[in-house]
A and B are shown apart, each in its own frame.
Chain A
Amino acid sequence: MATGANPYGTTGLLGWIDDRFPLSKMWHEHVKDYYAPKNFNIWYIFGSLMLVVFANQIVTGIFLVMHYTPSAADAFSSVQFIMRDVKWGWLIRYMHEIGASFFFILIYLHMYRGLMYGSYRRPRELVWIFGCLIFLFLMGEAFAGYVLPWGNMSYWGSKVILSLISAVPVYGDQLQNWLMGDFTPSGATLRRLFSFHVIALPLVLMLLVVMHILALHEVHSNNPDGIDIEEHKDEKGHPLDGVPFHPYYTVKDLFWVGVFLVVVAAFIFYEPTGFGLALEHDNFIPHDPIVTPPEIHPQWYFAPFYAILRSIPAIFDSKIWGVLVMFGSILLLFLLPWLDRSKVRSIRYKGWMYKVALIIFTLDMFVLFYYGLQPVTPTATLITRYATLVYYLFFLLMPFYSRWDRTRPLPERVTTGSFLSRRRRAAGDGAAK
């Protein structure tokens, strides 16, 4: 007789499964009885949307791999074969390519929610770290994916990025050749990037996503007020300000998935190249080792990091400094839980210092995004240098301004309603929002 199995006492086929596998247990623990704060706003939708996009990338990817040839000679023409000769191939390809760009729009918005509401604060540091790892590996996945069509931008973009490896002192050149599988990006590089993109990185990403969600469910979700809903429970032990994920957030997420699909479909059918950003014009010609595109840059979602990379000059003839500053800017994200020393989690209760810092950081990101896609000029380099400095200072000064900031008193229970209604309520009773 199994001792702990089937705690819900289900019968029939479900009971047979539950006697042998924690199916109902997982359903209850993670969906039906997972209590999430009832005051989630629009900023809380992006995680679920990313699950949808991830599923889309896998499914469309499976069909693309049926027809794609990962060889230098045939990769480009195999993509055209998919676009023209495979039934609905054009749709599958556009879904995959638009999905990739939307994955990054969503992850940036998702991370921004974290910045605003202190989702990375204790005890959710691991949730944040897993998330940063997902971001890092997603960038690798997208880089590998963009090389696969083997267009001219695929080739030259990969050449520039892979050449950064040679900046490693002493062993740089050997390391670069070992990773590329050749002395210059070639079929060997294409085949291994295909392997990373199709199996290695998706497996790592799936594992990390599972860990990210498990870590979240272990400590329960944060909310826009940054307070702990577990502090006020009803007689059944359920948070007074919480609602079970199913059905409340399943139906709410489904609605927003609908809205999201409308936007994505509009792009797929009416603007499949994403205004020349998702599918770049220079990638519509096959790779040509002799002809460089007028401007070599990576995909739009890498633009801020590319701007940071380019802004650092080659000191002592080495480009390692730009590489270090660029990777440093990503690694800073990992440290966020320990840089934020504020007494409160959410920006709603932080003082003017943090709000100003976040606004400056946001504008700075837009500047970095813009200049990452522009040609290098002296003015652009100057601006991106300042922008890189501002980016670093946002994080490095945070232990100070977050501590000095005067925070507002936290509410006992979560606040609900729109921004304006909350403001009116706060002005009305004069008490803390």
Chain B
Amino acid sequence: MRMVKLWTLLLLPAAALVAVPGLSAAEGSLPLAFSAAPGNVPSVQRGARNFMNYCAGCHSLEYLRYDRLGRDNGIPDSVLQQTLMFQTGLKPFDPMKSAMTAADGKAFFGKAPPDLTLEAEYKSPQWIYNYLHGFYLDPSRPTGVNNTVFKDVAMPDVLWELQGWQKQVKGANGEARLELVQPGSMTPKEYDGFVRDLTNFLTYASAPEYRTRMSMGPWVLLYLVILTILLYLVKRAFWKHVEH
């Protein structure tokens, strides 16, 4: 009985190392490292273009407005209208809703394609990056594909023309990895850039105030640090004569 107690105590540090808050236990681990850069304006601009051309047919960004996207990323309204706004009758202040309704999406795919405005906060930019790199051929699935971080996903491999087709193979140590079996119109490096831009864009979409926050932060902290130093000097002046 005492040995059981001791064992459970010793397991504590091990348990501490294992659990990572925020990561879903159902999804696979994230093999590819990625550092989001929502402050990279050109990347976010390209990502917006990528999203509107490949994702917006099914996925909404219902909390992001076109003109907000334009203002934050230096895209004038005219360019916005020409290159990013594809539905008729849209105004720049409209939210970026998909033309596909939820009912249609459910009928087509079994589950309506989710809104992606907050996906980067919900799942993490690293997850999105791995997801877009993670499609591989799987004949057992109705869409013919599966995904390394989202098992049995209902989404087809929309980007197959760019990336090509991947297959899951057993590596040298027995671990599963993906191998490109049919190249797409982009080289792996170009496709990786495409995915990075798209992920940066989605990271921006989930927190459009990011750049303002980052630029204000140092000034706020500087002000508060100076204020605190002055307050300390006042405190010291009063307490100088008290034995404490």
Q: What CA separation (Å) do A39 and B243 show in the bound complex? A: 9
- The answer, yes or no, to whether B107 is at the interface (CB within 8 Å) is no
Could you tell me which residues of chain A, from 24 to 80, have a CB within 8 Å of some CB in chain B?
A: 38-39, 77, 80
Distance of A80 from chain B, by nearest CB (Å): 4
Write the nearest CB–CB distance from A297 to chain B, whole angstroms: 10
Residue of B nearest to A257 (CB): B231
The reply to whether A84 and B228 contact each other, CB–CB distance below 8 Å, is no
Contacts of B227 in A (CB 8 A): 258, 261
Is A90 an interface position by the 8 A CB rule?
A: yes
A227: interface (CB < 8 Å):
no
Given A251-B231, A252-B235, A284-B206, A262 and B221 contact (CB-CB distance below 8 Å): yes
In the assembled complex, A105 has its CB within 8 A of some CB on chain B: no
Q: State A101–B86 Cα separation when bound (angstroms).
A: 43
B24 at the interface (CB under 8 A from A): yes
| Min CB gap B67→A, angstroms | 11
Complex Cα gap A374–B18 (Å):
10
User: For the complex, what is the distance from the CA of A101 to the CA of B120, rounded to whole Å?
Assistant: 23
B123-134 near A? 1/0 per residue, CB < 8 Å: 110000000000
- Residues 183-223 of B contacting A (Cβ, < 8 Å): 206, 208-209, 212-214, 216-217, 220-221
Of B8-16, B139-147, B149-157, the one with at least 4 CB within 8 A of chain A = B8-16
User: How far does the alpha carbon of A285 sit from the alpha carbon of B122 in the complex, in Å?
Assistant: 7
* B235 / chain A contacts, CB cutoff of 8 Å: 251-252, 254-255
A382 on the interface (CB 8 Å rule)? Answer: yes
How many residues on chain B are close to A (CB under 8 Å)?
A: 48
B103 sits at the interface (CB 8 A): no
Q: A83-B209, A248-B239 are in contact. Are A281 and B123 (CB under 8 A)?
A: yes
Q: Chain B: which residue is nearest A77 at the CB level?
A: B63
Which of B5, B11, B19 has the most CB atoms of chain A within a 10 A radius of its CB?
B19
Please name the residue on chain A nearest to B215 by beta carbon: A269
Q: A379 interface residue, CB < 8 Å from B? A: yes
Q: B117 near A80 (CB under 8 angstroms)? A: yes
A284 touches B209 (CB 8 A): no
Contacting pair A254 B231 (CB below 8 A): yes
Q: Are B22 and A276 in contact (CB under 8 A)?
A: yes
What 1/0 mask marks residues of chain A from 251 to 292 whose CB sits below 8 Å from any chain B CB?
110110111011001100110110111001110110000000
Contact B63 A262, beta carbon cutoff 8 Å: no
Q: CA separation between A375 and B26, bound complex, in Å?
A: 12
Nearest-Cβ distance from residue B210 to partner chain A, whole angstroms: 9
The answer to whether B21 and A265 have CB atoms under 8 Å apart is no
B174 to chain A, nearest CB (A): 26
Task: List 15 A-B residue pairs with CB atoms under 8 Å apart, sorted by A's residue number.
Answer: A38-B243, A243-B242, A248-B239, A255-B231, A255-B235, A258-B232, A259-B228, A262-B224, A269-B213, A272-B213, A275-B21, A281-B22, A281-B124, A285-B122, A294-B25
List residues of chain A with CB under 8 Å of any chain B CB.
Answer: 38-39, 77, 80, 83-85, 90-91, 243, 247-248, 251-252, 254-255, 257-259, 261-262, 265-266, 269-270, 272-273, 275-277, 280-282, 284-285, 294-295, 367, 370, 373-375, 379-380, 382-383, 386, 416-417
* Residues of B near any A CB (own CB < 8 A): 4-5, 8, 11-12, 15-16, 19, 21-22, 24-26, 62-65, 68, 114, 117-118, 121-124, 206, 208-209, 212-214, 216-217, 220-221, 224-225, 227-228, 231-232, 234-235, 238-239, 242-244
A-B complex: 3 closest residue pairs judged by Cβ atoms: A258-B228, A269-B217, A284-B122
Query: Given A265-B217, A379-B11, 14 other A-B contacts at CB below 8 A?
Result: A39-B244, A90-B213, A247-B238, A251-B235, A265-B220, A270-B217, A275-B21, A276-B21, A281-B121, A284-B121, A285-B118, A367-B12, A375-B25, A383-B8
